[in-house]
Amino acid sequence: MRAHQIIMKRTTLNRWHLGLLAAAVLTLVSCSTSRSAASAPKTLFNGKDLTGWKAMFDDPSVKPESVWWVQDGILVCKGEPLGALVTTQNYINYKLEVEYRWAPGKKPGNSGIFGRVNGPARGLPRCLETQLHPNSAGDVLGLQGMKVTGDPARVKSIPNHAVAGDITLVGRIVGAERPQGEWNKVEILAQGDRVTVWFNGTKVNEAHGAEIIPGPVGLQSEGGEIHFRNVQITGMD
């Protein structure tokens, strides 16, 4: 009888150990699966030239190199004329990281970071924009009728804008940009219909209801010299 009880106890312990092992394996598989949802980060700006980018201007005669050029590993945008530099590849779900600064000693303009660009430039293209304008940096906008929304207290409609058509603006929660001439780091997570924005490690905006449509990401030219560096994207599909 005693020997039988010992065997039963050992059997129970073995089953318990097998259960723990199975749970551990499932946990590892789950973690691996969640990690594989994000691809490896991809550098979009190589610090040398505009490989992988194309310009968007209303006037096709504008030469991109007269507005955008590389100097000492930095992507410089003159800010005029109005337009954008967009990737040749499309993205839909991603985390985009960009560092920018307004040119030291010069008046800032009204630049932005574009996502899910679709349709030609009509002043500005149809897209989601993360605003870089001082004092509103971190606002999220849907340009040319692009759908996006958020907390009703922070949502504003601007119809028939001269260069951006019908705009939906989701105002930032808090400002976190650095003083004029200093580098800022922007992180934009576009996942399904949700858009989350961080400036310098601080979450400054959350929007939802964004159109889920593939398109390039881009950098805006508007009214003031601005510098970009360390532009990279991580696919989240």
Model confidence band, residue 17 (pLDDT cutoffs 50, 70, 90): very low
For residue 128, list its beta bridge partners. Answer: 115, 142
Give the pLDDT score at 37.
60
Give the pLDDT score at 33.
36
Give the pLDDT score at 34.
38
38 vs 44, 93, 147, 188, 234, CA distance in Å? 17, 10, 25, 14, 7
d(CA 237, CA 231): 19
Residue 165 near residue 145, CB atoms below 8 Å = yes
d(CA 109, CA 181): 12
Residue with tokens 């967009």: 86
d(CA 138, CA 178): 12
% pLDDT > 90, the chain: 79
Model confidence band, residue 15 (pLDDT cutoffs 50, 70, 90): low
Please compute the mean of the pLDDT values over residues 123-133 and round it to a whole number. 96
Give the pLDDT score at 119.
85
Calculate the CA 230 to chain-centre distance. Answer: 13
Percentages helix, strand, coil for the chain (3-state, rounded to 5) are 15, 45, 40
Residue 91 near residue 213, CB atoms below 8 Å = no
Model confidence band, residue 11 (pLDDT cutoffs 50, 70, 90): very low
* Res. 211: pLDDT tops 60: yes
Calculate the CA 138 to chain-centre distance. Answer: 11
Residue 135: exposure state from Cβ atoms within 10 A (0-12, 13-18, ≥19): exposed
- 135 against 37, higher pLDDT: 135
In this prediction the pTM is 0.84
Provide the token pair at 174.
């808090």
d(CA 167, CA 158): 5
Residue 24: how many CB atoms within 10 A of its CB?
Answer: 10
- Looking at residue 105, its amino acid is G
**Of 57-61, 71-75, 133-137, 152-156, which range is least confident?**
57-61
* Res. 143: pLDDT tops 80: yes
Give the pLDDT score at 164.
95
Across all residues in the chain, what is the average pLDDT?
A: 88
